[in-house]
């Protein structure tokens, strides 16, 4: 499930087109990952494992872009309103390098004694087998604009050259093509679509003017392009992490990391 670089780039860029927003707003729905209580959005249980960049302030190389994204997240919240948009904590901002297992699939797998340990060890083995390509340096991405999903709002990113894209794919293949991980139910389900989730859809009114909303998303996208020139994001490390919900990604010091 890999694409060449140009196909990847074309697909990602299409996500920020007005016609895409117009199509996506027809499918948006309330996310079960957050619930509102006493005027505050709280994350609901949603456990699993993933391979991500260091989240939030743990990622010292991307503090500038994360500050911009916090301001942009606030603009989205002001525009959509507190009831419709559930912002995630900035300390959980990240890019997913490889989805592993989550929610129902994880809860089922976790019934097998020792599953978590096997998963941890086999991901570590995948990282060890993925040898550097002789270009040991961070991979440069650019934020290309606003991305609207069925239950979430994000900014999407793209690598700035084919070599960076191939280096990411090589790590993903080391995970998804590892027979020992396939054996315990880990499989690739999505194309690589790098993004940083900013929040989830809360209440979606049955009277929602979806035509107007698509225009709003296009306006927010243009606002990013015009007002946030600091759009570089560097992936320098991928980490094996556990999450209990969509606001908290944790790891033990001895868990696997991969240095780009």
Q: What is the pLDDT of residues 188-209, one digit of tens each?
A: 999 999 999 999 999 999 999 9
Q: pLDDT-based confidence at 136, cuts 50/70/90?
A: low
Q: pLDDT-based confidence at 131, cuts 50/70/90?
A: confident
Q: What is the pLDDT of residues 81-103, one digit of tens each?
A: 999 999 999 999 999 999 999 99
Residue 41's DSSP bridge partners are 36
- The confidence score (pLDDT) of residue 137 equals 86
The secondary structure of 125-152, three-state, reads HHHHHCCCCCCCCCEEEEEEEEEECCCE
Q: What is the overall mean pLDDT for the chain?
A: 95
- The confidence score (pLDDT) of residue 133 equals 58
Quick check: 110 pLDDT over 70? yes
Length of the chain equals 260
Q: Residues of the chain with pLDDT > 70: what percent?
A: 98
Q: What is the pLDDT of residues 140-186, one digit of tens each?
A: 999 999 999 999 999 999 999 999 999 999 999 999 999 999 999 99
Reference 174, options 101, 122, 120; nearest CA is 122
CATH superfamily entry for domain 5-259: Cyclic phosphodiesterase (3.90.1140.10)
Quick check: 229 pLDDT over 90? no
Q: pLDDT-based confidence at 132, cuts 50/70/90?
A: low
Reference 232, options 100, 139, 126, 122; nearest CA is 139
Q: What is the pLDDT of residues 52-64, one digit of tens each?
A: 999 998 999 999 9
Quick check: 7 pLDDT over 70? yes
- The confidence score (pLDDT) of residue 126 equals 97
Beta strands 232-235; 195-201: pairing state: unpaired
| Whole-angstrom distance, CA of residue 175 vs CA of residue 188 | 9
Q: What is the pLDDT of residues 14-33, one digit of tens each?
A: 999 999 999 999 999 999 99
Helical (H) or strand (E) element with 70: helix 63-80
Q: Helix, strand or coil for residue 164? A: helix
The CA distances from residue 7 to 14, 83, 195, in Å, are 11, 37, 17
């Amino acid at each position: 499930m890999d694409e060449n670089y140009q196909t990847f780039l074309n697909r990602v860029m299409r996500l920020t087109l007005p016609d895409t927003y117009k199509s996506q707003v027809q499918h948006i729905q309330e996310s079960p990952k957050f619930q509102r209580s006493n005027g505050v959005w709280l994350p609901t249980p949603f456990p699993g494992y993933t391979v991500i960049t260091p989240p939030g302030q743990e990622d010292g190389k991307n503090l500038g872009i994360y500050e911009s994204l916090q301001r942009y997240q606030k603009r989205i919240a002001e525009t959509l309103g507190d009831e419709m948009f559930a912002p995630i904590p900035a300390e959980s901002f990240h890019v997913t390098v490889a989805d592993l297992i989550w929610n129902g699939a994880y809860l089922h797998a976790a019934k097998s004694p020792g599953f978590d340990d096997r998963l941890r060890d086999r991901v570590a083995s995948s990282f060890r087998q993925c040898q550097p390509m002789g270009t040991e340096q961070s991979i440069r991405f650019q934020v290309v604009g606003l991305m609207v999903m069925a239950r979430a709002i994000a900014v999407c990113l793209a690598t700035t050259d084919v070599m960076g894209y191939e280096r990411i794919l090589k790590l993903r293949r080391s995970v998804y093509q590892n027979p020992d991980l396939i054996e315990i139910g880990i499989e690739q389900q999505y194309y690589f679509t790098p993004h940083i989730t900013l929040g989830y859809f809360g209440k979606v009114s049955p009277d929602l003017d979806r035509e107007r909303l698509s225009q709003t998303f296009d306006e927010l996208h243009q606002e990013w392009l015009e007002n946030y020139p600091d759009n570089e994001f560097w992936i320098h490390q991928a980490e094996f992490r556990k999450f209990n919900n969509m606001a908290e990604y944790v790891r033990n010091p001895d868990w696997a990391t991969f240095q780009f």
